[in-house]
Structure 1
Amino acid sequence: MAGGQIVSLIGLVLIVVGLVVLRWRRPAWYWIGFGSLVALIRIRTSFRSVMEACGLTEPPSRSRLWIAAATHREPVRMMAGIRRVRITRSGLVLRLRMRPGQELQDFEVATERLRHSWRMHGVHIRALKPGYLEVRLIGYDVLRKVVMPGKPGAGLLRVPVALRADGSAHLRDFRATPHELVVGATESGKSVYLRGLIKGLAPQRVALVGIDCKWGVELAPFARRLSALAVTPEEAAALLDALVEEMTGRFELVCAAQNLPPDAPLDAITSDIWGLPEDIRPVPLVLFVDEIAELFLLTSKADEKRRDHLVTQLIRLAQLGRAAGMYLEICGQRFGSELGPGATSLRAQLTGRIAHRVNDEGSAKMALGDVSPRAVGVVTAIAPTRPGTAVAALPTGGFARIRAPFVSLPEAAAACAKHAHMTPDLPALDAFRPVPAPAGALVELAPEPA
């Protein structure tokens, strides 16, 4: 073999090895530079055969039948047409125009066949407008190493907390979904999700309140940014009473604003705090409850009355808090009717649902069984080697697999300390204001596993 051929062969081997390493270490770079072109050629050359194999074609129209008969040709079945192709950092986005007789469900049931036919990691379908749909093809496992999009759409009470399996950011929007239930077993990533949410809310003009009956081990590091913190069931009961009183005051403020003169403009009428003038509008408040089961547990018969009162106040906040700008984030390993009276009523008010890896199918059903039966199977299939992976119920219906980026406890605590000046002054909660440890007393914590 000539020396030039050997050099060319070595160069080719190095290129192949480089592409393999790039695909593993930097999948987004590999996809944009090489993988997207290969996938685009594969889709263009096999589109008709794949549509026919997946049953996504329709019989030809009468005019086509007439033309085929006149030209002595076999009539061709009609299929959806590609109107636009867009390359993203995670895959391809196809805009298709459906043929008469087709519907969105026809394509949704064929997603697995399309994924294998085009050798993609995932296929996601959504409707755009009548006759058009979007097919999002994912070229690699975007949840293996989470990289959040550059412009996730953050804003007041909107926090990008995770990445969806389709490559888009998952936003925790408190205005759209006021209350949320987050469940997950130990080491499933539930605490990391909570830290990311607190870190995203810390720089916003929002009051953060915590109930952590595990003696504050989860929420106490964020004391510099918390307006109130309760670490025992007794303190939690008193804090919830103060929050209900605060909610009552906000409703009285809204009612006072509704007593308008006859010549007041229609846009001055409001039924929640967001319609109030900005100078008198109360600051929004987010209540974090870590390990909700601790509030339901009884150590003696005497605790039953306290537990019932505590749960009643929680349900009251969940039912009425949205209009007062008060939102709930309820976390726990399990949450269901077995906790005791009031648990099912409270869960019914928590429209947002996040389910991490769980230890039993009953926990998955409790969180997402009323959202989608398919979501239950997805939750139980989450591997222990993928902490932070979860299934989220979507405000638009359905569900999506998500994974939160890793946020260490020191990182979240540092964000809270940096934005401690953003903590609003709420006189009704002054008695529960936590006293943070002196800066010199803080111990540098070792990074935790993702």
Structure 2
Amino acid sequence: MSAVSAGDVLLLVALGLAGVGLLVLRRLRPVWYWLSVGALITLVRVLVTYRSVMEACGLTERPTRLRLWLARVADREPTRLIPKLRRVRVTRTGMILRIRMQPGQELHDFVVASERLRHSWRAHGAYVRSVKPGWVEIRLIAYDVLRSVVMPKGLPEGLLRVPVSLRSDGLPHWRDYRTTPHGLTIGATDSGKSVYLRGLIKRLASKPVALVGIDCKWGVEFSPFAPRLSALACTPEEAGVLLDVLVTEMTERYDLIRAAQYLAPGTPPEEITSDVWGLPEDIRPVPVVVIIDEVAELFLVATAAEEKRRDHMITQLIRLGQLGRAAAIYLEVCGQRFGSELGKGATALRAQLSGRTVHRVNDEGTAKMALADISAAAVVAATRIAEDRPGEAVAGDSSGGWTVIRSPFTSLHDATAACVRYAHLTPDLPALASFRPATDPAPGEEAVPVFETA
């Protein structure tokens, strides 16, 4: 009897330790917990409660006339029609439900019910998207994927399309300059804005594109990336001259496009182009990405002469924003705040920056400046970013779509190492040669390290 009791005690202790181990695993390694235990539990819950959840969430439709007639003949109560669950797929971040909607249903019905679906199936998040007419996909997120960001491996990058962050639905967030040519990134001090820029530069460093930096904080942010920069301006005066050169470069590229349009009769239509991407590769100029850190420094003036210079710089930036896409010149403008109070031209420039990324801000007005024309809900989401979540942001574009993202931590050392590794990819643009930062020491001088390691 005592042996049986001791065995029971050992079994209870083992079960208790297993339970504690699962809780610890769920906290420290949510992916392992999900793939080992959580996915099976959630799958059973979804399959068992699917009908009742659809009914409780109002995602049912009236039965057809044929079903009503058959129910009347059989003297049975007709049941409402529920969407058909056709496929369930488990991923490392959650579960994807492929559902066929009933006639009369639309995507909006499921979007409105997404929060109720999340609670019903005890998921961290529920995201709905349309797959094709009549079909909807519900992505259940098992845990907070933004708490510790791990970017998926083997993502298919492009020349101007790089993954920079992870979305709250577990998918990567891309910075695609062909789709969204110009972007605005806003964030308060220590909000993760600099980490976002480091990750962007690290990704672009491996591409054959020209990177141009305008850092009016005397270059302290962008100087470590000098080996990979085609040009760097460290003061407003230098920035003004550099912007003039960029506008001239843009004008010459338009001349190249115009020359290609003077085609002989009978030229195939696919050889006619209105931007540099339609030009043959042997004459196509390299893309240029202009990254401006703390754009407010370009607007600040103290004298009348500086005000004239400021107005000229902003005019050149607006020109690049309006015409740069066809010439493959793209803007990435960053700052803590970007509103009309900066001065004349601020609003006109902001209107050209269709991609918006807002990190934690100090006031609601700053979030409204960037996101109010995208979505009121996006403004609310941006104001709720906590201080202990650096790198978290709200990303949106002119289409009205937005999502919560968080950038993986990229140290200055990692970003600088990438710029050194891919320094040989820096394009040789004669117009920018005088602005290219020096990285080699002069004869007789000692080399100064770009960065120091502990």
TM-score w.r.t. length of structure 2: 0.96
Match of 1:116 among 115, 119, 123: 119
Contact 1:176 1:395 in 2 (8 A): no
Partner of 1:306: 309
Q: Which amino acid aligns with 1:37?
A: L
Partner of 1:248: 251
SS at match of 1:294: helix
Q: Which amino acid aligns with 2:384?
A: A
May I ask how many residue pairs the two structures share in their alignment?
A: 446
Partner of 2:56: 53
Partner of 1:5: 8
Q: Which amino acid aligns with 1:441?
A: P
Match of 1:37 among 15, 40, 43: 40
Q: What percent identity do the matched residue pairs reach? A: 64
Cα offsets for 1:156-205 (capped at 9, x unmatched): 11111000000000010111110000001000000000000000000110
Using the alignment, how far apart are the partners of 2:10 and 2:397 within structure 1? 55
Using the alignment, how far apart are the partners of 2:123 and 2:26 within structure 1? 14
Match of 1:201 among 201, 204, 207: 204
Q: Which amino acid aligns with 1:386?
A: R
Partner of 1:164: 167
- Choose 6-15 or 221-230, whichever is displaced more: 6-15
Equivalences for residues 251-290 of structure 1 within 5 A: 251-290=254-293
Residue 441 of structure 1 pairs with residue 444 of structure 2: no
SS at match of 2:175: strand
Contact 2:183 2:331 in 1 (8 A): yes
Q: 1:437 to 1:290 in 2, by over 3 A?
A: farther
Residue 75 of structure 1 pairs with residue 78 of structure 2: yes
Partner of 1:227: 230
Equivalences for residues 105-184 of structure 1 within 5 A: 105-184=108-187
SS at match of 1:65: helix
Pairwise CA distance, 1:436: 2.5
Cα offsets for 1:353-412 (capped at 9, x unmatched): 000000000011111110011000000000000000001115764110000000001110
Contact 1:170 1:402 in 2 (8 A): yes
Residue 19 of structure 1 pairs with residue 19 of structure 2: no
Partner of 2:444: none
Cα offsets for 1:239-277 (capped at 9, x unmatched): 000000111111111111111111322211111111111
Partner of 2:387: 384
SS at match of 2:333: strand
Contact 1:86 1:94 in 2 (8 A): yes
Using the alignment, how far apart are the partners of 1:309 and 1:445 within structure 2? 41
Using the alignment, how far apart are the partners of 1:36 and 1:145 within structure 2? 20
Using the alignment, how far apart are the partners of 1:351 and 1:416 within structure 2? 27
Partner of 1:360: 363
Pairwise CA distance, 1:441: 2.8
Pairwise CA distance, 1:6: 2.4
Consecutive unaligned residues of structure 1, counting only runs of 5 or more, are: none
Q: Which amino acid aligns with 2:13?
A: I
Contact 1:208 1:226 in 2 (8 A): yes
Match of 1:415 among 418, 428, 431: 418
Cα offsets for 1:76-107 (capped at 9, x unmatched): 01111101111000001011111111111111
Match of 1:87 among 84, 90, 108: 90
Using the alignment, how far apart are the partners of 2:123 and 2:383 within structure 1? 23
Q: 1:437 to 1:187 in 2, by over 3 A?
A: farther
Pairwise CA distance, 1:230: 0.5
Contact 2:185 2:358 in 1 (8 A): yes
Q: Which amino acid aligns with 1:281?
A: R
Pairwise CA distance, 1:65: 1.1
Partner of 2:104: 101
Pairwise CA distance, 1:296: 0.6
Using the alignment, how far apart are the partners of 1:326 and 1:148 within structure 2? 28
Q: 1:18 to 1:395 in 2, by over 3 A?
A: farther
SS at match of 2:266: coil
Q: Which amino acid aligns with 1:109?
A: V
Name segments (4+ residues, structure 1) moved above 3 Å.
Answer: 394-397, 437-440
Q: CA RMSD in A?
A: 1.2
Q: 1:82 to 1:17 in 2, by over 3 A?
A: same
Using the alignment, how far apart are the partners of 1:367 and 1:396 within structure 2? 14
Residue 186 of structure 1 pairs with residue 189 of structure 2: yes
Using the alignment, how far apart are the partners of 1:101 and 1:268 within structure 2? 46
Pairwise CA distance, 1:111: 1.1
Cα offsets for 1:198-235 (capped at 9, x unmatched): 00000110000000101111111101100100011110
Pairwise CA distance, 1:150: 1.8
Residue 317 of structure 1 pairs with residue 320 of structure 2: yes
TM-score w.r.t. length of structure 1: 0.97
Using the alignment, how far apart are the partners of 2:385 and 2:448 within structure 1? 41
Q: 1:176 to 1:38 in 2, by over 3 A?
A: same
Using the alignment, how far apart are the partners of 1:58 and 1:437 within structure 2? 72
Q: 1:369 to 1:395 in 2, by over 3 A?
A: closer
- Choose 247-256 or 144-153, whichever is displaced more: 144-153
- Choose 387-396 or 314-323, whichever is displaced more: 387-396
Q: Which amino acid aligns with 1:64?
A: R
Using the alignment, how far apart are the partners of 2:398 and 2:48 within structure 1? 37
Using the alignment, how far apart are the partners of 1:319 and 1:191 within structure 2? 26
SS at match of 1:160: strand
